[in-house]
Every structure is written in C-alpha cells, then in structure tokens.
Amino acid sequence: MSLFTRWIPRRYRLAFSHIVNRPFELLMTGLDVAIAPLQWVLGVRRMAYFFIAPNLIIFGIFILLPMVLNFYYGFTSGQSILLENREFVGTDNLETILTCEDYGNPNTCKEDLFWRGVRNTGAYVALQVSTMVVLALITALALNRKIVLRGFFRSVFFYPVLLSPVVVALIWKWFLRYDNGLLNALLENFGQDRIQFLADPQWARFWVIVVSDWAQMGFYTLILLAGLQAIPASLYEAAEIDGANTLRRFRFITLPLLMPTMTVVLVLAFIRAVQVFDQVFVLTGGGPGTATLYIVQYIYREAFVNSPPQFGMAAAASLILASVLMVMTLAQLFFARRSEAT
C-alpha cells in the first residue's frame, strides 16, 4: 500500500488515485499521440536517439564544444579569444611548457610556474588522498559499529560535504588568520606565540590538506560505509569461531572485500585532488608565494589574471592535465574490470 494513500479511508482510495493519476494519464496519452507517428517514421531502435538527444545537445554545447575549442586554443597564440584572430603555432605552447633544463628545479624551466604547480599538485595529491582515505576508512569502521548516536555521528561527518567549497575556505580562513584568527587567539590565550598559518609555506600546505580532508572525508566515508555493510556478517562469525582476532579479521576479511570500493574511492579522490582549485583559491590564493599554486590555478592565472592573457598556454596546460586524468580514468577501468574478473 502506498505511503501516500494510507491515511485515506479505504472506500475513497480508488477515487483519490483516479483524481491524482488522471492528469498524468492525460499527459502520457498526449505524448503518445505525438510520439507514436514519430516512432512509426523512425522505427523503435532509432527512438533511443530521439530520447537521448536533449541531453546530448546540452552535453555537446557545454562540454564537448568547449573541449574541442580548448584543443584548438592549445595550438594557437595571441590575446584574442576569437578563433579567427588567433595565430596557429603548432606545438609551440606545449614545447614552452615542457622545456626544462632540470625538471627537479622549476626555476630552470621556461614556464617555471607550471612546474611549481606540478610539484605542488603531486605533493598535495599524495598527501591529501592518502590521509583522507585512511581517515575515511577509520571513520567508516567506527560508524559501522553499533555505537551510541551512530546516526548523529554519520550526519556530523557528512555535513561538511554539503557546504560550498568557498564557504568552507572562508570559515577556515577566519579560523587560521594571523590577525584576529580563532586558532591564534586560542594560542595567545594559552601564552603561546601566534603562528603565521597562511603566510608560512609549510603551514599553508599543511592546512590546505587538512581543510580538504575535513571538507571531503564525509563523502568517501559514506561510500566505504556502504562497502562495509555489503560484507556478509557470516564471514566475521565464522572467523570469530576459528579464533581470528580483530586485526586478522580486518586484514583477511574486511580489507580484501572492501578493495573494489576502495579502488573507486582512491580513483575518485585522486581525480578530485588533481583538479583542486576553488577551495584553495579562496583560502590561500595559491600563496604564500606559489606554495599552494596547483595546476588548475596556474591555468586560471595564465588565462584570466595575467596581462596580456595567455589563453594558448592555459589551454595547452589544460590539455596536459586532461591527458593525466584520462590515464587515471583508464587505470580505474582496468582495475575495476580486473577485480570484476576475479
């Protein structure tokens, strides 16, 4: 029995459902009148294209077309955004970006800021993804147990995911500021010196990771929690009877069975970390200096902050980023298929 009709006395339910359903029936009949001749003309198989066309058009205009334009921009130079005013320069932009005397030292690269962005992004991805996945796993394991106020804690950990990245960054900026920041006020209260959390490169890098972990962890916790709940309880009962302790149960049951979910979490977290921009842009602006300048912000700076704007360089850098992400996506598909096969 439908939840919506349960409160209606039984003898009126049929009449109620007629009233509610009638407009839908009329609508569907109307659609049928319009679509049936079309189906007659196109045939049943081709009707699928008709139904996906609206979404395909939107996807084409807002995703596919910009991708094609970006590809073309990557091989042109000039200040204009109009294609006809841009000069085709072949792979010059890519060559400029990739030219380095010593790849370990960004200062020797022709486009040193790109390589600082690459180095910063690499360090950020490694630390942010690893810490967040470990923390999300610990949290998911804790929330999977029968603890008091389990529902409340699940909401608490998920809540930051609902916040906009800009809001998250502004909250934390207020928290970390040197002048009138909450954390520094606490330090002073305990007789400690204030710390330049956002003006010291190491501290800034640290807090960018902490804030990202805080903001995103709930989402991955939820996925891992679903993975944990899909593991049959009978396996744990059998292991317990066999005398396996908690660590061994985790090592030989939880971890192997959670691996497919973990792979998805790792790949999603990796892709998101490589694309990091909005939160860090508001929190540190890429500074101090270029300590938290990541690749996407480099692209943004080249296209929209520099004067004159370097749209070609920005597009070329985004092609490199897209290639990296594509490799990661293919790796995800490979691992997912392999785990399905086993």
Among 89, 199, 253, 320, binds other proteins (CB under 8 A): 199
- Enumerate residues 120-139 that contact other proteins by CB under 8 A: none
Q: Which is nearer to other proteins, 260 or 287 (CB)?
A: 287
Confirm or reject binding of residue 308 to other proteins (CB under 8 A).
yes
Among 225, 267, 293, 321, binds other proteins (CB under 8 A): 293
Q: Which is nearer to other proteins, 184 or 221 (CB)?
A: 184
Among 71, 178, 203, 277, binds other proteins (CB under 8 A): 178
CA distances from 159 to 128, 141, 143, 151, 219 (A): 19, 18, 15, 12, 9
Closest CA relative to residue 259, chosen from 156, 339, 170: 339
Neighbours of 275 (CB within 10 A): 14
Least Cβ distance, residue 74 to other proteins (angstroms): 18
Among 17, 153, 183, 201, binds other proteins (CB under 8 A): 201
Among 44, 82, 148, 341, binds other proteins (CB under 8 A): 82
Alpha helices in the chain (DSSP H): 10-42, 44-59, 65-73, 92-98, 112-144, 150-162, 165-176, 182-189, 201-229, 233-241, 246-249, 255-274, 278-283, 295-300, 311-341
Encoded tokens for 159? 């809540």
Least Cβ distance, residue 178 to other proteins (angstroms): 7
- Enumerate residues 93-112 that contact other proteins by CB under 8 A: 107, 112
Among 133, 137, 198, 317, binds other proteins (CB under 8 A): 198
Confirm or reject binding of residue 296 to other proteins (CB under 8 A).
no
Burial class of residue 223 (count of CB atoms within 10 Å of its CB; 0-12, 13-18, 19+): middle
CA dihedral 65, 71, 74, 80 (to 10 degrees): -20
Least Cβ distance, residue 306 to other proteins (angstroms): 6
> How many angstroms separate the CA atoms of 226 and 221, rounded?
9
Which residue ranges make up the site for other proteins (CB under 8 A)? 79-82, 85, 107, 112, 116, 177-179, 196, 198-199, 201, 281, 284-293, 297, 301, 304-309
